[in-house]
């Protein structure tokens, strides 16, 4: 563990895995070491406005031997950590808003898996749901994807077991816990827990000894979608936590798919509704999912397939170029674009149609648009400063 990682571990402990607070405090200093030294000298003035609880944790964690005991426990229990500054931190997750400041993990951490796909669904399920989860998990892994799962009972666990049935994959599954890395979730899931560690990676942003509680699941769900290029929903009831994962996926610009179910099944209400509302694309087999990601190779570096379309930036209309540059900053609605660029509504609508037709952008639910980086790569001319566009 590097010195910088120890310091990130210190501030992560003090902020109780609250990434928003973590980054807000970090912005008050030139670097994290400056923040640590201020606390070591009992100078809490730069930390004004935070609770007494956080101040006490800052002081406690800065005491001699605290980090030694903390990291010693991790070493004895085979726990690693990665931070957004580490080379092995998941690239897709790092691109999301307020990514976890520290990920605790067991197994092998990968920064750039070529095709991570989350498979989520109901804890209670039908035999049909179980069969589909096993099938999708195994076939996704066989085609070079990594199944990302919350390991909950039901669809999540069976998708993980399906992925583990694939013996040719170096990393068939990633499990994301809603609790500390020292906890087994759900209780009695030790066999799957250990298999995931052996064959893939088990991770969490929550501090050791954190137990699963209702309020942590939405936080865990944003990691599920953030780690993934797409999310597949297999069975979800009318009121389901799966809907939170879908919401996070849309916010992060991820593709969402749903396996249709019988209209008489209680656990198909949620999935069928996602399809009807246009919040998810219907899929009936793994090939339907893989077709959306055909531009990605199965190489470890996640590079784009040579057959992916290349569109020169200079070939876009002037308004199209401005829209592309705006969307490099994140997804935008047509109204957002009116505020970003100097163009009329008609010019913006025309350019949006042009960009959609070229598969440079895609439309999300609610007439929100995002870059379609899966199917098309926009290339820059030699006289166009690419760094300025990024």
* pLDDT score recorded for residue 381: 54
Computed from CA positions of residues 74, 75, 78, 83, in that sequence, does the dihedral angle turn out positive or negative? positive
Three-state secondary structure of 341-379: CCCCHHHHHHHHHHHHHCCCEEEECCCEEEECCCCEEEE
Query: Which is more confident, 357 or 155?
Result: 155
Does the pLDDT value for residue 308 go beyond 70?
A: no
Digit-coded pLDDT (tens) for 177-189: 999 999 998 888 8
Give the mean model confidence (pLDDT) for residues 135-155.
93
Among candidate residues 92, 132, 62, the one with its CA nearest the CA of residue 374: 92
Residue range 124-138: average pLDDT?
A: 94
**How crowded is residue 306: how many other Cβ atoms within 10 Å of its Cβ?**
8
- CATH fold for domain 309-389: Arc Repressor Mutant, subunit A (1.10.10)
Looking at residue 114, what is its pLDDT?
A: 79
Q: Tell me, what's the pLDDT at 170?
A: 86
Residue-wise pLDDT tens digits, 61-109 = 998 899 999 999 999 999 999 999 999 999 999 999 999 999 999 999 9
* pLDDT score at 373: 66
Task: Give the C-alpha separation, 321 to 361, whole Å.
Answer: 12
Residues 296-325: what's their mean pLDDT? 70
- The interaxial angle of helices 217-226 and 242-251, nearest 10 deg, is 50
Give CA–CA dist 270/277, Å, rounded. 11
How far is CA 238 from each of CA 143, 221, 247, 276, rounded to the nearest angstrom? 32, 18, 15, 14
Q: What is the mean pLDDT of the chain?
A: 88
Other Cβ atoms less than 10 A from the Cβ of 187: the count is 9
Task: Compute the distance between CA of residue 123 and CA of residue 178 in angstroms, rounded to an integer.
Answer: 14
385 pLDDT higher than 60: no
Tell the CATH topology of 107-293.
Rossmann fold (3.40.50)
The count of other CB atoms within 10 Å of the CB of residue 288 is 14
**Phi and psi based region of residue 278 (left: phi greater than 0; alpha: psi -120 to 50; beta: remaining):** left
Counting beta carbons within 10 angstroms of the beta carbon of residue 147, is it exposed (0 to 12), middle (13 to 18) or buried (19 or more)? Answer: buried
Does the pLDDT at position 314 exceed 50? yes
Which residue, 85, 3, 70, 23, is CA-closest to 11?
Answer: 23
CA-closest candidate to residue 337, choices 360, 311, 359, 370? 370
Confidence of residue 208 (pLDDT cuts 50, 70, 90): very high
Say what percent of the chain tops pLDDT 90: 65
Q: Considering all CA atoms of the chain, what is the largest pairwise distance in Å, rounded to the nearest integer?
A: 65
pLDDT of residue 93: 95
Task: Give the helix ranges, DSSP H, for 217-268.
Answer: 217-226, 242-251
Identify whether the C-beta of residue 313 lies closer than 8 Å to the C-beta of residue 379: yes
Phi/psi for 322 (5° steps) reads -65, -40
Count, residues in the chain: 390
Q: pLDDT digit string (tens) for 332-367?
A: 888 999 988 989 999 999 999 999 888 888 887 777
Question: Which band of pLDDT confidence, cut at 50, 70 and 90, is reported for residue 379?
Answer: confident
- Tokens for 33, please give them: 């070491």
Bond preceding residue 186 cis, omega within 30 of 0: yes
**Band (213; pLDDT cuts 50, 70, 90):** confident
Q: How confident is the model at residue 297 (pLDDT cuts 50, 70, 90)?
A: very low
Q: What is the dihedral of CA 99, 103, 109, 112, to 10 degrees?
A: 0
Q: Is the pLDDT of residue 370 over 90?
A: no
Per-residue exposure over 1-36, b if at least 16 CB sit within 10 Å of its own CB, e if not: eeeebbbbbbbbbbbebbbebbbebbeeeeebeebb
Quick: pLDDT tens for 220-265: 999 999 999 999 999 987 777 788 899 999 999 999 999 999 888 8
Phi, psi of 203 (to 5 degrees): -140, 160
Per residue in 13-53, pLDDT (tens digit) is: 999 989 999 999 999 999 999 999 999 999 999 998 999 99
Q: Indicate if the pLDDT at residue 371 is higher than 90.
A: no
d(C-alpha 26, C-alpha 35), whole Å: 7
């Amino acid at each position: 563990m590097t010195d910088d990682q120890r310091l990130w571990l210190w501030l992560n402990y003090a902020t109780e895995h609250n990434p928003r607070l973590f980054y807000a405090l970090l912005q008050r200093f030139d670097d994290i070491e400056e923040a640590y030294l201020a606390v070591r000298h009992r100078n809490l003035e730069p930390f004004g406005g935070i609770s007494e609880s956080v101040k006490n944790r800052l002081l406690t964690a800065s005491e001699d031997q605290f980090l030694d005991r903390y990291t010693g426990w991790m070493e004895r229990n085979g726990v690693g950590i990665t931070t957004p500054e580490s080379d092995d931190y998941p690239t897709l997750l790092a691109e999301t808003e307020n990514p976890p400041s520290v990920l605790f993990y067991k197994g092998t951490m990968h920064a750039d898996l070529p095709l991570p796909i989350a498979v989520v669904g109901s804890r209670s399920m039908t035999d049909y749901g179980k069969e589909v989860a096993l099938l999708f998990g195994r076939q996704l892994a066989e085609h070079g994807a990594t199944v990302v799962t919350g390991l909950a009972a039901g669809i999540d666990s069976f998708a993980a077991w399906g992925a583990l049935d694939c013996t040719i994959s170096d990393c068939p599954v990633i499990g994301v816990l809603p609790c500390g890395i020292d906890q087994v979730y759900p209780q009695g899931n030790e066999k799957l827990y250990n298999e995931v560690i052996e064959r893939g990676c088990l991770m969490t942003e929550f501090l050791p000894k954190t137990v699963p509680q209702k309020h942590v699941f939405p936080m865990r769900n944003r990691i599920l979608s953030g780690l993934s290029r797409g999310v597949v929903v297999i069975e979800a009831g009318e009121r389901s936590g799966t809907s939170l994962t879908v919401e996070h996926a849309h916010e992060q610009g991820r593709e969402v798919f749903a396996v249709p179910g019988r209209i008489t099944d209680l656990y198909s209400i949620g999935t069928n509704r996602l399809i009807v509302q246009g919040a998810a694309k219907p899929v009936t087999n793994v090939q339907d999912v893989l077709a959306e990601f055909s531009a990605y190779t199965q190489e470890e570096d996640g590079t784009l397939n040579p057959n992916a379309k290349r569109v020169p930036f200079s070939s876009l209309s002037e308004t199209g170029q401005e829209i592309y540059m705006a969307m490099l900053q994140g997804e935008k609605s047509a109204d957002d674009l009116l505020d970003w660029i100097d163009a009329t509504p008609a010019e913006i609508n025309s350019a949006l149609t042009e960009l959609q037709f070229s598969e440079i952008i895609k439309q999300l639910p609610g007439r929100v648009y995002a870059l379609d980086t899966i199917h098309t790569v926009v290339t820059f001319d030699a006289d166009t400063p690419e760094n300025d566009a990024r």
